[in-house]
Amino acid sequence: MRKKVSFTVPQSTSFKHALLQWAQQFDEVVWLDSNGHNDKYSSFDGLLAVDALTSLVTDSQDAFNDLKEYQNGAKDWIFGYLSYDLKNDVEVLSSSNFDGLEFPELCFFQPKKIIRIKGNKVDFLYLKMVNDEIEDDFNLISKGFFEKPHPIIETHPVKIKLRIFKDEYFKRVEKMLNHIQIGDIYEANFCQEFYAQDTVIDPLKIYNRLNEISRAPFATYLKIWDKYLLSASPERYIKRRKNNVVSQPIKGTAKRSPNKEEDALLIKSLENDTKERAENIMIVDLVRNDLSKSAKKGSVKVKELCKVYTFEQVHQMISTVVAKVSKSKDPVEIIKETFPMGSMTGAPKVSAMKIIEELEATKRGLYSGAVGYFTPNNEFDFNVVIRSILYNATNKYVSYSVGGAITAKAIPEKEYEECLIKAKAMREVLEGADTSK
């Protein structure tokens, strides 16, 4: 169905920049960048999908059945996203909070053109109708010369506002803690939005800056017409390779220090932090339970528990949970049975999501959802949409949200401080945006 042509490029970093610039001519773009974090679960250094042949855009009602039908019918690569509010298709839940971004709940497309980078090798996977464009496209990207260059977008200073102020945040966390004390939940992820109205940004420029300072393993640039996701996500939601499934929830964050000795102490402190470990272990139990719905009996295993990984901006505590599924298990069903991801909800999951909806001030939408792809042989890989800037160009609305796990031991002031650590990179690139061009 697709023609594959491979090339060798001398330096993949410059090719990546040129590739993303070239992609701006299309209305549908998904770019996934591992930024050199190649572990045993990685499949590529960079993966680009552009130019929809077919697409599925829908609200949450019956969304997973629609996706299953679309994925089964395409029998091809499809790329796209799942918003957090698809929870309403999985459970009897609703979303009625303010939404300034207005992204569809679910969007997937079958791209005419896929370009995959692994080391110095670049694979062009094009549908038959555009096969004759492979050589021309490769030459254009290699030279960094485009007939339709990325347009200069006139921008203005980004003035970030808080959706809820500090005192209000403390009040809402106290309400969350009250739910924990009376036994409604054990843990819940509580998020807050930072936003800017009547604001024009250059999405590609902002993404490149965010990626430069974050170098995250699940970085994403997504463009669906006038809606953009600029993500520096460090977290994998779920991946299927053959009959193996892996999920890598993050719970536990510490700031970085430019001083090596101090940075090493921060790692040690996070490793031994009983509260952070308790948060992580609770979510690992939730992920194990979610995966067991799809997995072969007795196959769910914890490969890594509370391991600290270091990124450009923060240290993170990550666990790795694996399982085996039968060959005939529908890929969309696996996702539906684990969605939304445990790290962004809480335990018990449904109760946590109800309380989250009650206490948060905005609809999450794509934030804490997932971006990724399905392959023709029913494999898939999805990230968690965190550390991300969302932008509706028509509404001129820019948003980023951050959150943290609230448990019985949570101290509202420390939770607020953790939110600011997580927001640092996004705030820097928006407030420090070059508005002179």
* Catalytic residue set: 235, 251
| CA gap 393, 397 in Å, rounded | 7
Going from the C-alpha of 269 to that of each of 253, 276, 277, 416, the distances in angstroms are: 11, 10, 11, 19
Q: Any residues with CB less than 8 A from the CB of 92 and at least 6 apart, and which?
A: none
Place of tokens 């550390």: 387
Cα-Cα-Cα-Cα dihedral of 396, 397, 400, 406, to 10°? 180
Orientation of helix 166-181 relative to helix 412-431, angle to 10°: 140
Q: Any residues with CB less than 8 A from the CB of 172 and at least 6 apart, and which?
A: 164, 190, 359, 360
Residue among 172, 209, 218 at smallest CA distance from 386: 218
> What's 330's DSSP letter?
-
What is the b/e burial string over 23-32, where b = at least 16 CB atoms within 10 angstroms of the residue's CB?
bbebebbbbb
Place of tokens 């403390």: 170
- Sign, CA dihedral 185-358-339-315, equals negative
Strand stretches in 158-226, DSSP E: 161-162, 187-196, 218-224
Tokens of 29: 């773009």
Name the β-bridge partners of 78.
374
Number of other CB atoms surrounding residue 385 within 10 Å = 30
| CA gap 312, 37 in Å, rounded | 12
Amino acid at 59: D
Are 317 and 252 in contact by the 8 Å Cβ rule? The answer is yes
Name the β-bridge partners of 57.
107
| CA gap 191, 436 in Å, rounded | 33
| CA gap 26, 197 in Å, rounded | 26
